[in-house]
Amino acid sequence: MDIKCPKCHSENPDTKQFCADCGTRLISPKDIGVSVTRTMETSVEELGRGTTFAGRYEIVEELGAGGMGRIYRAFDKKLQEDIALKLIRPDIGADRKTIDRFHNEIKIARKIRHKNVCGMYDFHEEGKTLYLTMEFVRGEDLRSLIHRMKVLPTGTAVSIARQIAEGLSEAHKLGIVHRDLKPGNIMIDKDGQAKIMDFGIARSLLGKGLTGEGMIVGTPEYMSPEQVDGKEADQRSDIYALGIILYEMLIGRAPFEGETPFSIANKHKTEPPPIPKKIIPQIPEDLNKLILRCLEKEKSKRHQTADELVAVLLAVEQELPTTDRALIQVKTKIRTSREITVKFTPWKIIISAAIVAVLAIAIVAVFILFKPARGKIDSLAVLPLADLSAKKGEVYSVDGIHDALINELTKIPSVNVIARQSVMRYKDSKKTIPEIARELKVAGIVEGSVVQAKETVRITLNLFEGRNERRIWGPKSFERNASEILSLYGEVALTIAREINAQLMAQDIENLTQKLKVKPKAYELYLQARSPEALGSLPIQMSLKRTLDLLQQAVEIDPNFALGYAWIAFTYRDMASVASMPQAEAFDKAREAAKKAVSLDETLAEAHSAMGLIAFEHDWDFGRAETEYRRATELAPGRNIISLIHYLTVMGRFDEALALVKREAESNPLEPIYAAWILYMARRFDEAIDDATRFIQLNPEAWLVQAIRSVCYSFRKKCSEALAENKKILSGSASASSDPNLLFYLACSYASCGDRKKTDEMIEAIKKTGYLEQDPASLAVIYSQLGDKYMAIAALKQGFESRSASMPTLTCDPLLDPLRDDPGFKALLKKYGFKN
């Protein structure tokens, strides 16, 4: 009996395991028990070419069918992009619990943003039909490529395996395991780049009602021993499957074969794999060892992480001779040159070819002579915009427009955009573009201006290659009525992204084209509240009250303005820290505003960041704080990482914090003050001194960093250096008499070095700031260094009782180390649930 291929529908003898035309695994009626790709009797409604589905997706062609349903190439009319559309079988969709689990898994899987992972967009329901939308990849799957080529060249196989491992690495870092990795789930695009598909789907199918005959999750040829035993898969299960795939690319078949799925699965548990080098002696020994290690029965003996596997594959790849690094030739539906030229005589072909060759050489020569090669633009800095308006600040704060543009550009995952704190240093700067690019370590620089009138806003921008100041694009102007400016930022960011050939997925385009849902007047007030220019040089307490007033006006105009509520929460929190409002009242109001922000927009990073601050600083609910901080960082990595760094440091997770600092430094290279502070908190004082010194060389007026260095000097018994540092700070810093943080570090430095007179002067200066009314516990660090344990513990007790926001940080500060063994100190920590 012939078997119909589920993908291309061609007929195949029932003796064959794979389709002769496209290489898809065939489902025989005798197959029972284990194949995830087996199609059940119930089929999904077929869609014809040109059909519009869900009012949005125009069907271009059917790509195939499998265990979940049919998959189509479709044109998304909203995004003006081709996407892959997968319709879910009705029998799967009938199980509500499975669909709920499926929906949750897709939400997790769509967080993976990597060039070697096929983007997962969303999970929808149209009538009774459930469907997935995904990135459409032009090319062919790896199963088809292996079937067509029989055996892949070693260099090609290693390159594909490395790309797969790099994609897995990104997923595993997010805690996502594929569980059904196989050649059919890997696409090779037209450029030879591997892309993993279907993350999140295998786990979603582990539900009741889907584990009956023929539906155990996993494909027998690629299942790890632990999966065969029904145990939970982890990242090492994916590494096992990748070992099988690499074996198959090199040998032309999987290591374990059998008559039934059960017999194949059982061999994973009981039989050693055939040694690749014994089958093909030309396989390098290091590659042979790599494959066998991936295929260890005990997962503790395999490569433990995808990063580790990437490193080994890179080493193998570098040792291969150049001649062994074959290009991947992907099969497409484009007509071949032979099909096009068979109608011409050989003489005509020769003449035509000669003409084409001459033209090609001429074009290339002109291109080389008149258009120098451009470097890859994968990092950008948007310099402060010049306000060329006749009346400054006519409609919006120019700084607010600048901030909004940067925020939109950070939505492009493939481009590192420098944070506003770093680029604002170049406002009115005389430095050249190459100098700025070199200091910020970016490939591209955006500069421009804003002209505002009563009814319009016009932004004009230029894009330069940083290394040589060559104009890539511009001047380009974007003009809107004041009431429509919110639609402008995403358009500008999308234009820049396309100009620099940034890697954009459909979801990225949708994010950039979504207009911020807020009334223009409310957004204008929000920008004023966030603008230092609008607030002028008011004292901090008056500035915060002015900020709060502007934000409250904004949410009165637009009660659905989630971002406005989030910043109201931040403002109340700041008011608690500078004695503008009692702690309990301020945090209650902050919590109310943050909850409102989350209820209005669960995907707003700032709302979760505010909830995290409240949980950390006031509720002392550290588990919830981390959850909220992580959520904020996932939603907007470029804007919410500092709070997470601070949290990890206070929790004693210094290596994690330093790793994030390194990441933050890429987007905010001129503001990495946390590095020295983390090293200080980790008691790595010499490293903290070195890091602070490097930073101060770039930023001579970084007084707080100098104060941290001074304390580190005192801990290393270098009091002459510490006292010299303090003298420099006091004579150079305009805020030395009013900044409580600075004063506390100075007081502790003097106390550690035994200068009681200067310590008392600092204590009096701190009292004058009013800070001790809100945070009496802060004196504990000074008394601790003076050796007055009684006063130190009394101050801490006041702080705990008043729920001072500084307590989580204070209790792990090195300045309190002299109290660590004191029974009174230990009792306080235990009472309030803090670790010593």
Known catalytic residue: 399? no
> In 3D, which of 91, 243, 698, 720 has the Cα closest to residue 438?
698
List the Cα angle 782/784/785 in 5-degree steps: 70
d(CA 48, CA 109): 29
Could you give the C-alpha distances from 777 to 70, 132, 325, 437, 793, in angstroms and in order? 64, 55, 65, 44, 9
Could you give the C-alpha distances from 283 to 155, 242, 275, 805, in angstroms and in order? 10, 17, 10, 62
Helix (H) or strand (E) holding 220: none
Radius of gyration of the chain (CA): 31
d(CA 447, CA 593): 36
The residues, ordered by sequence, that sit 6+ positions from 424 with a Cβ below 8 Å of its Cβ are 384
Rounded to the nearest angstrom, the gap between the alpha carbon of residue 330 and the centroid of all alpha carbons in its chain is 30
Phi-psi region of 754 (alpha: psi -120 to 50; beta: other; left: phi over 0): left
SS3 per-residue string spanning 355-366: HHHHHHHHHHHH
Phi-psi region of 319 (alpha: psi -120 to 50; beta: other; left: phi over 0): alpha
Terminus-to-terminus CA distance in the chain, angstroms? 73
> In 3D, which of 477, 476, 484 has the Cα closest to residue 455?
484
Tell me the H-state helices in 110-209.
142-149, 154-173, 201-204
d(CA 466, CA 436): 8
> In 3D, which of 611, 576, 479, 604 has the Cα closest to residue 771?
576
* Tokens, residue 132: 């997935």
Pairing label, strands 416-417, 11-12: unpaired
d(CA 826, CA 836): 7
* Number of Cα atoms under 13 Å in the Cβ half of residue 742: 22
Which residues face 326 on adjacent strands? none
Judge contact between 177 and 196, C-beta under 8 A. Answer: no
Torsion from C-alpha of 645, 649, 654, 656, nearest 10 degrees: -30
Helix (H) or strand (E) holding 195: strand 194-196
User: Could you please report the per-residue DSSP string of 633-667?
Assistant: HHH-TTTSHHHHHHHHHHTT-HHHHHHHHHHHHHH
* Tokens, residue 545: 């009250």
* Number of Cα atoms under 13 Å in the Cβ half of residue 644: 28
Helix (H) or strand (E) holding 44: none
Tell me the H-state helices in 177-234.
201-204, 225-228
Judge contact between 705 and 692, C-beta under 8 A. Answer: yes
Could you give the C-alpha distances from 296 to 181, 237, 244, in angstroms and in order? 17, 10, 11
Q: 């897995």: which residue's tokens? A: 168
Question: Exactly one of 76, 141, 180, 238 is catalytic; which is it?
Answer: 180
Judge contact between 677 and 645, C-beta under 8 A. Answer: no
d(CA 126, CA 735): 61
List the Cα angle 632/635/636 in 5-degree steps: 85
Collapse the DSSP code of 756 into the 3-class scheme (helix H, G, I; strand E, B; otherwise coil) and give the result: helix
Which residues face 700 on adjacent strands? none
The residues, ordered by sequence, that sit 6+ positions from 105 with a Cβ below 8 Å of its Cβ are 200, 201, 203, 204
Q: Could you list the active site residues?
A: 180
